Amino acid sequence: MKKVWFLFGVAVVLVVSCRNERLHYPETRRCDQTDEYFGVKVSDPYRWLENDTSKETEAWVRAENEVTFGYLEKIPYREKIRKRLEELWNYPKMGVPWKEGGYYFFSKNDGLQNQRVYYMMKTLDEEPRMILDPNKLSEDGTVALSNFAVSHDGKYLGYGISRAGSDWQEFFVKDLTTGDDLPDHLQWIKFSGLAWYKDGFYYSRYQKPAAGQELVAANRNSRVYYHRAGTSQEEDRLVYEDPDHPDWSFSPSVTRDQRFLIITVTCSTSGNALYLKDLQKKDAPFVRLVENFDHDYWVAGHYGGGLLIMTNDGAPRYRLVVVQDDKPSLQYATEILPEKKEEVLRGVTLGGGRLVAEYMKDARSVVRVYEPDGTFLHEVSLPGIGTVGGFSAEPEDTTAFYGFTSFTFPSVVYRYNIATNTSTVWFKPDINFDFDNYVTEQVFYPGKDSTLIP
Angle at 313 between CA 387 and CA 355, to 5 degrees: 45
Closest by CA position to 252, among listed 325, 328, 197 = 197
What is the chain's alpha carbon radius of gyration, rounded to the nearest angstrom? 25
Where in the chain is CATH 2.130.10.120?
97-210+218-254
SS3 label, residue 349: strand
Task: Indicate the residue type of 150.
Answer: V
CA torsion through residues 266, 271, 277, 279, sign: positive
The answer regarding whether domain 97-210+218-254 maps to CATH 2.130.10.120 reads: yes
Instruction: Report d(CA 306, CA 304) in Å as an integer.
Output: 6
Where in the chain is CATH 2.120.10.30?
341-454
Closest by CA position to 249, among listed 305, 165, 201, 191 = 191
The gap from C-alpha 183 to its chain's centroid, in whole angstroms, comes to 27
Per-residue pLDDT, 20: 56
**Which CATH architecture group holds 341-454?**
6 Propeller (2.120)
Instruction: Report d(CA 388, CA 343) in Å as an integer.
Output: 15
Which tens digits make up the pLDDT trace of 239-287?
A: 999 999 999 999 999 999 999 999 999 998 899 999 999 999 989 999 9
Per-residue pLDDT, 115: 97
List, in order, residues 6 or more apart from 69 with CB less than 8 Å away. Answer: none
Angle at 218 between CA 213 and CA 219, to 5 degrees: 115
Per-residue pLDDT, 181: 97
Closest by CA position to 309, among listed 332, 341, 343, 333 = 333
Q: What is the pLDDT along the chain (454 residues), one digit of tens a residue?
A: 444 444 445 555 555 555 556 889 999 999 999 999 999 999 999 999 999 889 999 999 999 999 999 999 999 999 999 998 988 889 999 999 999 999 999 999 999 999 999 999 999 999 999 999 999 999 999 999 999 999 999 999 999 999 999 999 999 999 999 999 999 999 999 999 999 999 999 999 999 998 888 877 888 999 999 999 999 999 999 999 999 999 999 999 999 999 999 999 999 889 999 999 999 998 999 999 999 999 999 999 999 999 999 999 999 999 999 999 999 999 999 999 999 999 999 999 999 999 999 999 999 999 999 999 999 999 999 999 999 988 999 999 999 999 999 988 889 999 999 999 999 999 999 888 888 888 888 999 999 899 989 9
Distances (CA, A) of 1 to 4, 5, 11, 400, 437: 5, 6, 15, 37, 7
Task: Indicate the residue type of 314.
Answer: G
Per-residue pLDDT, 19: 53
Per-residue pLDDT, 3: 47
